[in-house]
Amino acid sequence: MDRRFNYQFQAVGTAGPGPVPGNAVDLGETEIEDAALRECFQTSNPLGASWLTLSPLLTSGPAGTPFVFAEPLGHAREVKVALSGLFGRFVARAYLERYFGLSVFVHLGHSSINLAGSAYQIQRISSGDLPDWVACTAAGTDITVAEAKGCHNPTGPLKTLDRAWSQAQRVNVIANGAATPVKRIAIATRWGIVNTNLAVPHLFVRDPLDDGDPATPDQRNILFMGMLRLHLASLIRPLGYRELATTLTELATRGTQVTSATRQAAHAQLASAHTWRSPRVPPRDGMIGGIITTSGPIVGPNFTIEDQVQMLRLGMRPAFVGVDRAVVAAALDGDPTEARGRMQEVGRGDGVARGDGAGTLIIRLNAQEHVTDETGSSSST
């Protein structure tokens, strides 16, 4: 169900109008849950979102009801700050995915990140905390530097937006040694809590477009493949595919220094990797992935019907998280055309199998939905 936020979009400089007219914006509960799951997987902590069920926490009402929590989530300042930051990050990612069509997310740490050796990189240009993401669409377009923050300030998130804006300026995206044009977005969210002076939820966005040297088509493809490799690596590592994730990371960060033997070994790893299939996914090579529950990820094969029935009975909310094998193979080969084509086939799912546009699907397992592993074990009821 869609929830509504009070919305303010600030276009700066050469940025065009915002993606949503008016002063309100809607985001779905499941969109935010899925964004939270992907976000926590990619930051090496899948347990962080395994508990997330928004509906019981929010006030009830029809579609368009404001995103307002039914009671405070914690009383100590430290708890409020921590939860504000988490929910701000989840809401911001859902917003970027839905309204800007972003699918590929690279998470930043404390230093520059190579995308294909040092000539192609996300480059730190000033001191301080770096922004949360550099992201792009599934086509490799609209490279975006984004910083998300949450707040619980009764006056609203404008001051928080200023801090996010400063943080979004601290990196450039470099192609063959030159800075490329990027969109920079700062997002600040303040949740709502019923019967308080924080009853109105806010989502504020600031968005400019940077000047720079336009990348050539070949350079854009190199940047895209580097970002996709890091995106996929961070998703599959917590699902038990550590060797594949390491190879994808090496291909991005070391570029042409990676030997053909390493690439061959990676394809051998992919060929032997455990594979799942779902009726929701167009037939091809299946998916690599695993089951996530409220107790964390369950990796490997033989997740049986009886296992799932027991998990459902215990309220552990099993869900399958998987990445299309053909997309991973294209990333290993450095084939942007094949990667884009397959990601387009998988798309963003059908409402039950919900995708990120970059070849990943999340399927909540229940009496109707199932996945089957290649050993013949079924994860269905």
pLDDT confidence bin for 305, thresholds 50/70/90: low
* C-alpha distance from residue 35 to each of 5, 85, 94, 158, 360 (Å): 17, 14, 5, 24, 12
Task: Return the higher-pLDDT residue of 150 and 297.
Answer: 150
Q: What is the pLDDT of residue 300?
A: 62
State mean pLDDT over 138-164: 90
What region does 22 belong to: left with phi over 0, alpha with psi -120 to 50, or beta?
A: left
Across 3-17, 113-127, 199-213, the highest mean pLDDT is recorded for 113-127
pLDDT at 380 > cutoff 50: no
Task: Return the higher-pLDDT residue of 319 and 104.
Answer: 104
60 contacts 33 by C-beta, under 8 angstroms: no
Beta bridge mates, 172 = 123
Listed range (89-98, 308-317, 340-349) with the worst mean pLDDT: 308-317
SS3 23: coil
Task: Find, among 286, 264, 265, 283, the residue nearest to 274 by Cα.
Answer: 286
Q: What is the pLDDT of residue 191?
A: 83
Distance CA(171)–CA(129), nearest Å, equals 10
pLDDT above 70 as % of the chain: 93
Distance CA(213)–CA(223), nearest Å, equals 14
Q: What is the pLDDT of residue 332?
A: 92
pLDDT in tens, 154-202: 787 889 999 999 999 999 999 998 999 999 999 999 888 888 777 889 9
Beta bridge mates, 297 = 292
pLDDT at 48 > cutoff 80: no
Q: What is the pLDDT of residue 264?
A: 84
Q: What is the pLDDT of residue 132?
A: 95
Helix (H) or strand (E) holding 171: strand 171-175
- Residue type at 26? D
- Residue type at 227? M
- Residue type at 276? W
Q: What is the pTM of this model?
A: 0.91
Q: Give CA 252 to chain center in angstroms.
A: 18
SS3 167: helix
pLDDT in tens, 62-95: 988 988 888 877 777 777 778 778 888 999 999 9
pLDDT confidence bin for 366, thresholds 50/70/90: confident
pLDDT averaged over the chain?
86
State mean pLDDT over 35-60: 82
* C-alpha distance from residue 104 to each of 7, 75, 330 (Å): 25, 36, 15
